[in-house]
Amino acid sequence: MQRSSSTIVRRGLRVALAALPWLIAMYVFYWLDSSGTWTADTPHRGKLSVMLLGTGMLLSFIIQSHFMKRDGRVGDK
């Protein structure tokens, strides 16, 4: 079964939208590091890094799960 180009574009946009929180979290982490806001002496830097990236990944997972549930593809093999 061939998919129409609009279906392919729609799926690509959903994937991009779902990945956006994770990409934003990675960019914020990069920006904080490159601007010198976070130094090696910043207290709890490792914990905050894990929380920042983890939050982005969790939001991406929730958005992707929402799209899958709305399309009725949850549990399909």
Residue 76 lies in a domain: no
Dump pLDDT digits (tens) for 7-48: 888 888 999 999 999 999 999 989 988 998 888 888 888 898
Is the alpha carbon torsion for 68, 71, 74, 77 positive or negative?
negative
**Which residue range forms the structural domain that includes residue 28?**
5-71
Residue 53 lies in a domain: yes
Residue 77 lies in a domain: no
Q: What is the pTM of this model?
A: 0.76
Contact partners, residue 45, CB within 8 Å, separation at least 6? 38
